[in-house]
Structure formats: structure tokens, C-alpha cells
Amino acid sequence: MTDSKDTRRLEPENLIETLALERIEVNLFRGVSKDQHGRIFGGLVIGQALMAAYKTVEKVRCHSLHCYFLRPGDPRVPILYDVDRARDGRSFTTRRVTAIQHGEQIFNLAASFQIPEDGVEHQDPMPAVKTPDQLAPERDLRKTMLEKMPAAMREAAMRPRPIDMRPVDPEGFMGNAAPDPEISGSSTQDVWMRAVAPLGDDEILNQCVIAYASDMSFLSTSMRPHGMGWQTPGLQSASLDHAVWFHRPSQFNAWHLYHQTSPSASGSRGFNLGQIYTADGKLVASTAQEGLMRYRPPAEA
């Protein structure tokens, strides 16, 4: 049970503040991480880098971004974002963003922006799954794992998160058991998501928050066929690259379904694909990621 002192410490993160950047020079920005535990969350750097790119464009919207994670981020110091104005065209604009800490690149991103245009449309249908009100919040699921975590990790595990998540397959999501094929299939997982802090109708802010959230739960999809999870002894994991394609605008305070699949794992890498839908079935974004999934079984006693 958490006492009143602990409750005061565990304040939720506000993504509007987290994604806000300080402009240092025309193309140079500074951001900070609110999470002081371990490495910087990859989605934070994606969201801040996209926000930095947006501060150098006008009248266009990002339709795709591609990025690489180069080094672990240090949450104790600010992150510098250096924006390269690669191209300004009549319809399409390109930006490259480099994230720097301690004089070294930790991350880079290339983003393409387009003047809004009308055209033909089609999309894949949203999978039929349980609704969010039928599912337990991810924070409640984390409580069941506290006894298995080292003491140093428990506070971080119970810190209120800026994204409300509700997995369709709770056991597989938490790595407690191999996923139930009747629910989602051995290499598939579905998670409902929404931002906790009010975002309003700002299309750019909502898009940056979707980019932030797109890194949540993604890599674990490739662990599911092997009955693994974040707490599996001997498993080393980290995001290597990440891509997002934005199809339609949406308001991320409403529930969105993140449908994720893992077509392949090999060479100590797991490959994942994702689709993000509004609750009424509109496909707003697609994602792809490859991550390190190096497994070295602990030596038997």
C-alpha cells in the first residue's frame, strides 16, 4: 500500500510540458526528460524531435518520419535538437533532426511534410476487439507485478504515466504467460491508448503525442511468440529504429486502438508493424520498428 508521502511523489507527467522546447537559436532547440529513472524513453525523443522540426515549417503537416536510436539517452541532462532544413518545396518539405547529449548524437530523425491535399481514400478495417471499458487499466496490471520487481524499480513502475493504456490480452502484455491465440494470435497484440492530459484540437500537438505513444508496448510484440517479457532474465532489449506514417488527423484524448504484429524475429532483432485506429475505426497512423532482442539464458546454479 502506498503511503501519503509516496502519493505526493508520484505526480503524473504532462505531455504538453514534456514536449515543449526552448529555442536557443534559429534551428537549435533544447528539451528535457521528466523521467529520472534509467534511460530516456524513446518515444519522448521522437515526439520532441518532431516538435523541433515543426518549429521550422509553416502550413504543412508531417506525413512520415523515420528515425534511428544511436545511443542511450541520459535523463539527467537536457537534449539539444539541431534541425537541418533539408528542403522547402511547393508541396513537400523535408527536415532532418539530430538529438545531441554530451557532444554526441543519441538519435536522428528525418521527417517529410506536405501541404494538405484531397484525394482518393481506402484503409484496412480495424480488428474487432474488446472495448476499453471492458478492460483493466495498465497501471492496475503493473500493481500485480510489484513483488517480482527489484525495490529500485517499484517506484518507477507505479509512477502515473501520461498515456492511459488498456491491453486486450493482459497476461501476454505483462509477460506473465504466452499469449492466448484465441484473443490475439501469438505474434499480435492490441492495446487501447489515450493521452491523460487535455491536448485540445491542436493538430500538431496531437500528432507529436501520437508519435510519443507509438513507441509504447511496440517492441514487446516480438517477445510474445517466445513467452518473454521485460522482466525475463537474460533478455536485453532496446529500440533500434522507428517509423511512423500519419494518414489522418485525430484527437488523442479519445481512445485509439494500437494493433501490433511481429512478422519476424532473427539475428537478435525483433521486427514489428503497427496500425493506430480511432474508436470508430478510422486508421490515423501506421508504424514500423526493429528492436534489439538479445537473449542469453542465465547460467544454471
CA distances from 184 to 167, 201, 294 (A): 11, 33, 24
Task: Single out the catalytic residue among 112, 222, 286, 289.
Answer: 289
In the residue annotation, 289 being an active-site residue is answered as yes
280: Cβ contacts below 8 Å, ≥ 6 apart: none
Residue 189 annotated in active site: no
Residues 108, 96: Cα–Cα separation, whole Å: 7
d(CA 263, CA 157): 29
The amino acid sitting at 249 is P
CB count in 10 Å sphere of residue 202: 12
Q: Which residues contact 129 (CB under 8 A, 6 or more apart)?
A: 168, 184, 190, 257
Q: Which of 33, 239, 275, 286 is labelled catalytic?
A: 239
DSSP 85-141: EEEE-SSEEEEEEEEEETTEEEEEEEEEEE---------PPPP----GGGS--HHHH
Considering the candidates 164, 169, 190, 215, report the single residue annotated as catalytic.
215
Known catalytic residue at 118 = no
Active site (catalytic) residues: 215, 239, 289
